[in-house]
Amino acid sequence: MYDPITLASAAATWVVNRLLDRLSSAAINALLSSEGLEKEVALLRDALRRANLVLGAVPAGAAAGITIGNEQLVVQINQTQWLAADLAKHLDELEYYEIKDKVKKTNQKSSNPLSKVKSLTQVGQSKPKINKSDIPHIREAVDSLHKICEDVHNALLLEKLDGINRSTQNTSTDTREAVENFTEAKVFSREEKDEIVDLICHSASSDQELLLVPIVGDGGVGKTTLARLVYHDSKVKAKFDIMLWIYVSANFNEVKLTQGILEQIPDCEYKNTTNLTVLQRGIKKYLTKRFLLVLDDIWEESEARWDKLLAPLRCTQVKGNVILVTTRKLSVANVTSKKGAHINLNGMKDDIFLRFFKQCIFGDENYQGQKKLLKIAKQIATKLKGNPLAARSVATLLRRNINEVNWRKILDSDEWKIESGTDGIVPALMLSYNHLAYHLQLLFSYCALFPKGYRFDKDQLIQMWIALGYVMNERKKLEDAGSDSFDDLVDRSFFQKDEQYFVVHDLIHDVAQEVSLRECVTVDNSDLQKVFTSTRHVGIWTELVYSEQNIERSITFEEKLDQIQNNCTLRSLESLMLVGVYDENFSTKFVKIMEQLRFIRVLRLSAMPFNAESLLSSLKKFIHLRYLELRFDSDMHKPLPDAICKLYHLQVLDVRHWKGLNDLPKSICNLVNLRCLFVPGSGSLHSKVCRVGELKFLQELNEFRVQHENGFEMSQLENLNELRGSLRIFNLENVTKKEEASRARIKDKKHLRTLSLSWGSTDGNSAIQKGIMEVLKPHDYLAHLFVINYAGATPSWLGENFSLSNLESLHLQDCATMKILPPFEEMPFLQKLSLVGMSSLKDVRIDFSCGNASTTTASQSLEEDELELSEIEISKCSALASIRLHSCKALTKLSIKDCDTLAVLEGLPSLDQLLHYDVQGCPQLWSGSI
**Region 426-450 average pLDDT:** 84
Which is higher by pLDDT, 30 or 197? Answer: 197
CB 308 within 8 A of CB 276: yes
Q: If pLDDT is split at 50, 70 and 90, which confidence band does 145 have?
A: low
**pLDDT at residue 866 tops 70:** no
Angle at 181 between CA 176 and CA 185, to 5 degrees: 95
Query: Given this model, what pLDDT does residue 75 score?
Result: 76
Q: If pLDDT is split at 50, 70 and 90, which confidence band does 167 have?
A: very low
Query: 357-376 pLDDT, tens per residue?
Result: 888 888 888 888 888 889 98
In which region does residue 711 sit, left (phi positive, over 0), alpha (psi from -120 to 50) or beta (all else)?
left
**Region 429-440 average pLDDT:** 80
Taking each helix axis from N to C end, the angle separating 223-231 and 192-206, rounded to the nearest 10 degrees, works out to 50
Q: How many CB atoms lie within 10 A of CB 144?
A: 17
Query: Given this model, what pLDDT does residue 33 score?
Result: 74
**pLDDT at residue 429 tops 80:** no
Query: Given this model, what pLDDT does residue 643 score?
Result: 92
Please enumerate in sequence order all residues whose Cβ is within 8 A of that of 553, keeping only pairs 6 or more positions apart, or say none.
583, 585, 586
Starting at the edge strand found earlier in the chain, the sheet holding 343-344 runs 242-249, 291-298, 322-327, 211-216, 343-344
CB 681 within 8 A of CB 657: no
Query: Given this model, what pLDDT does residue 114 score?
Result: 47
Which is higher by pLDDT, 225 or 389? Answer: 225
CB 371 within 8 A of CB 377: no
CB 880 within 8 A of CB 842: yes
Query: Which pTM value belongs to this model?
Result: 0.78
Q: Please write down the long-range contacts of 356-361, taking CB distance under 8 Å and 24 or more positions apart.
A: 356/188, 356/388, 356/391, 357/381, 357/384, 357/391, 357/395, 359/186, 359/188, 360/391, 360/392, 360/395, 361/395, 361/398, 361/399
Of 16-30, 366-380, 519-533, 889-903, where does the model show the most confidence? 889-903
Q: If pLDDT is split at 50, 70 and 90, which confidence band does 139 have?
A: low
**Region 732-761 average pLDDT:** 95
Q: What is the phi/psi pair of residue 799, to 5°? A: -125, -110
Query: 247-281 pLDDT, tens per residue?
Result: 887 678 888 899 888 988 888 887 778 888 888 88
Query: 33-68 pLDDT, tens per residue?
Result: 776 777 777 777 777 777 777 776 666 555 555 566
Query: 871-925 pLDDT, tens per residue?
Result: 999 999 999 999 999 999 899 999 999 999 999 999 998 878 899 999 999 999 8
470: helix, coil or strand? Answer: coil
In which region does residue 901 sit, left (phi positive, over 0), alpha (psi from -120 to 50) or beta (all else)?
alpha
Query: 634-651 pLDDT, tens per residue?
Result: 777 888 999 999 999 999
Q: If pLDDT is split at 50, 70 and 90, which confidence band does 714 have?
A: very high
Which is higher by pLDDT, 841 or 187? Answer: 841
**pLDDT at residue 852 tops 50:** no
**pLDDT at residue 149 tops 80:** no
Instruction: Report which of 362, 425, 487 is spatially closest to residue 222, judged by C-alpha positions.
Output: 425
DSSP element (H, E) containing 465: helix 458-467
Instruction: Report which of 824, 811, 819 is spatially closest to residue 860, judged by C-alpha positions.
Output: 824
Rounded CA separation 658/77 (Å) = 44
Query: Given this model, what pLDDT does residue 245 score?
Result: 92
**Region 699-725 average pLDDT:** 94
Pick the range with the lowest mean pLDDT from 377-381, 755-759, 827-831.
377-381
Query: Given this model, what pLDDT does residue 175 score?
Result: 41
Rounded CA separation 717/148 (Å) = 51
- Average pLDDT in the chain: 83
Q: If pLDDT is split at 50, 70 and 90, which confidence band does 179 have?
A: low
Query: Given this model, what pLDDT does residue 44 score?
Result: 73
**pLDDT at residue 595 tops 70:** yes
Query: Given this model, what pLDDT does residue 10 score?
Result: 75
What percent of the chain has pLDDT above 70? 85
Rounded CA separation 737/726 (Å) = 25
**pLDDT at residue 626 tops 90:** yes
**pLDDT at residue 177 tops 90:** no
Q: Which amino acid is at 436?
A: L
CB 161 within 8 A of CB 66: yes
Query: Given this model, what pLDDT does residue 24 score?
Result: 74
* C-alpha distance from residue 207 to each of 201, 202, 750 (Å): 10, 9, 49
Query: Given this model, what pLDDT does residue 785 score?
Result: 98
CB 321 within 8 A of CB 211: yes
Query: Given this model, what pLDDT does residue 64 score?
Result: 52
**pLDDT at residue 112 tops 80:** no
Please enumerate in sequence order all residues whose Cβ is within 8 A of that of 25, keeping only pairs 6 or more positions apart, or say none.
none
Query: Given this model, what pLDDT does residue 625 score?
Result: 96
Query: 281-340 pLDDT, tens per residue?
Result: 888 888 889 999 999 988 888 888 888 898 888 888 888 899 999 998 888 888 887 665
Q: What is the DSSP letter of 839?
A: T
CB 751 within 8 A of CB 723: yes
Query: Given this model, what pLDDT does residue 164 score?
Result: 44
Beta-bridge partner residues of 705 = 730
Which is higher by pLDDT, 653 or 391? Answer: 653
**pLDDT at residue 158 tops 70:** no
Of 132-146, 191-205, 218-232, 778-792, where does the model show the most confidence? 778-792
